[in-house]
A and B are shown apart, each in its own frame.
Chain A
Amino acid sequence: MESGAAATISDRLRTTASGLNLVGRQTLRFAKRKPLGAFGGVTLLVMIFLAVFAPVVAVHDPLEINVKDIFHSPSSTYFFGTDNFGRDIFSRIVWGSQISLRVGFASVAIGTTIGSILGLFSGYVGGVFDMVTQRIMDALMAFPGLVLALLVATLLGRGEFNVILAIALITAPNANRVLRSQCLTIKERPYVEAARSVGASGARVLFLHILPNSMAPYLIIATSALGGAILIEASLAFLGFGVPPPTPSWGEMLSGSVLQYARQAWWVAVAPGVAISLSVFGFNVLGDALRDVLDPRLKGAN
């Protein structure tokens, strides 16, 4: 009895280990085929690391005002220099990664996910539900992204969750469209017909057959949407409609009178922009690489 249990445990361990091994080898192959995509993946990991370990990585308090060290140029104490309040820019960048990631992930998780689920339903159910959903998506797409986000973020009032909602609203239609058309093609595949002919219910077909087969486009759309979401968050923060201060965010670090002092202290305008560009670049190339590997037919979907 006991040895049997031990055997299953060691069996399970072995399968887990070989599973991990497989994942490792797959990752390595991906990195070899798509070096740029791998760079994007590394960027994502670095950002997550910075965000999680911000209290350790940031050498200074990002909010600490240091009157003696206003506009200190980059040095071994202040890696990226200090701003007009003498706050350490490096530490603010590190803490700012939290906002970018949180807003990016949450808005995509809400927007892309809800958009995708609605898209699957609307493709599968069709009829009035499909029509109504598509008209709503049309209306959302009739607004330029930034304008819609500005409108929603202002009207709901300043706050992190409201920014997330605003961005989620503009990421939903794209996911909706792609997943709807995906569902429409999968619906006609022989295996769906087979499932239906043996008496599978509509819910079973949708969740056990169509949903798993739509995971690849979902992942691709979500990854590409992340870069866009971070860009919109930064733009909102730059215009003064983002997460309220004193929370450090990259877009906010470039706003206000930065232009005036940047003439004397160029470094205040450089690091935040590099941080935004690098992370957006990383997510974009990761999304492109995932698309090429997982589903080449989606080329040019966004």
Chain B
Amino acid sequence: MIPLLFGVSIVIFVVMRILPGDVAAAIASRGAEDEPTQREIEAVRVALNLDRPLVVQYWDWISHAVRLDFGDSLVTGEPVLDDIRRRIPVSVELGIISMLIAWLIALPVGILSAIKQDTWMDYGARSFTMTGVAMPTFWVAVLLILLLSRVFNWLPPLGYVGFFENPADNLKQMIFPALALGWTLSATLARMTRSAMLEVLREDYITTARAKGLREWVVINRHALKNAMIPVITLAGFQVGMLVGGTVLIEQIFTLPGMGRFLITALNVRDFPIIQAIVLLITFAFAAVNLVIDLVYAVLDPRIRYA
């Protein structure tokens, strides 16, 4: 994981530096009336250490980044870390609630669809998952807001309330964004749960369990579901990528002050210390979650051992 992150940090850094357009020129002309002179541009370049060799610049950045010092924003001049500290909880909370909602929808739908295979319940569940996979998250969110505003007169609130300031208000703000995101994620999960369950239900040990006279509920829950979860959990790892992309879109629509919205703002003004920091943190979180899933995997399936 460490070599991977190291490689990723190099990729991010190189990609940021080969961008066409001179960052120094862009910063020098910011807020000024006239075109910046060559001398002014040069001054900015030296001030930002952009005149030094790439290797030195990279070392400078990464040696500070591992100590969580991501430098200052080029636009506001404030430390990037301060902003990130305020925004991480928003995105993490949104991500966790969305994932919970996704599992709450996907498990019953997937299981029902498998045990009632080829009935109207199965067809209903499958059309739900197929439309869910095809509908873009942002459209689901737009439709949800429209519905809420027409029927309940609910609008996305303008100010954001933190969870520890006022949990009730905070959850009221989070529930609809999380619902829109969780709904999209649940489609793939439900589909995977169904096919994994169908496969497991054909196994001999299920027949054995039934032959022992176990109640159907126990067979499904204890014997089938536990084994079917193994491939589904792997998929959940891949879904973290979708989840991150989804939070970017959802935060934008519901105007939540999270990391995704921060990234979009920074990309728009090319505030590269912020962009570098966010992308590095996102890939770090992505890799960490996948590591955790690998470990969970070994717990679920004793046949898997990591040396």
The residues of A with any CB-CB pair to B shorter than 8 Å are 135, 138-139, 142-147, 150-152, 154-157, 227, 231, 234-235, 238-241, 251, 254, 258-259, 262-263, 266, 269, 272-273, 276-278, 280-281, 284-285, 300
Contacts and interface: CB of A to CB of B under 8 A. Distances in A.
A234 B138 CA distance: 9
Contacts of B240: 144
B108 interface: no
Contact of B279 (A135, A151, A234, A300): A151
B149 interface: yes
Nearest to A255: B138
Nearest to B17: A155
Interface residues of B, number: 50
10 contacts: A142-B286, A143-B286, A147-B244, A147-B282, A235-B249, A263-B146, A266-B146, A280-B135, A284-B134, A300-B231
B263 A147 contact: yes
Given A139-B11, A235-B245, A277-B136, A269 B131 contact: no
A258 B245 contact: no
A277 B127 CA distance: 13
Contacts of B18: 155
B249 A151 contact: no
A269 B16 contact: no
B283 A143 contact: yes
Interface of B: 4-5, 7-8, 11-12, 15-16, 18-21, 130-131, 133-139, 142-143, 145-146, 149-150, 195, 231, 240-245, 248-249, 252-253, 263-264, 267-268, 270, 275, 279, 282-283, 286-287
B83 to A, nearest CB: 18
A156 B16 CA distance: 10
Contacts of A143: 8, 241, 279, 282-283, 286
A235 B286 contact: no
Contacts of B279: 143, 147, 151
A155 B276 CA distance: 12
Contacts of B268: 240
A150 B263 contact: yes
Tell me if A's interface is mostly helix, strand, loop or mixed: helix
A278 B195 CA distance: 24
Contacts of A135: 7
B117 to A, nearest CB: 16
Given A139-B4, A150-B267, A284-B133, A157 B20 contact: yes
A240 B263 CA distance: 13
B10 to A, nearest CB: 8
A60 B150 CA distance: 31
A276 B139 contact: yes
Contacts of A259: 142, 145-146, 253
Contacts of B241: 143-145
B130 A154 contact: no
A196 to B, nearest CB: 35
A262 B146 contact: yes
B13 to A, nearest CB: 12
Contacts of B133: 280-281, 284
B139 A146 contact: no
Contacts of B11: 139
B14 to A, nearest CB: 11
B4 A146 contact: no
Nearest to B5: A142
Given A259-B145, A273-B139, A276-B136, 13 more contacts: A142-B8, A146-B249, A151-B275, A155-B18, A235-B136, A235-B137, A235-B245, A239-B249, A240-B264, A240-B268, A262-B142, A280-B135, A284-B130
Contact of B135 (A144, A266, A269, A273): A273
A152 B283 contact: no
10 closest A-B pairs by CB: A146-B245, A281-B134, A273-B139, A144-B241, A144-B244, A155-B19, A280-B134, A154-B267, A277-B135, A277-B134
Given A139-B8, A155-B19, A239-B249, A263 B149 contact: yes
A142 B139 contact: no
Contact of A269 (B146, B195, B244, B245): B146
B141 to A, nearest CB: 9
A238 B270 CA distance: 19
B267 A142 contact: no
A254 B138 contact: yes
Contacts of A147: 244-245, 248, 263, 279, 282
A155 B134 contact: no
Contact of A241 (B7, B267, B283): B267
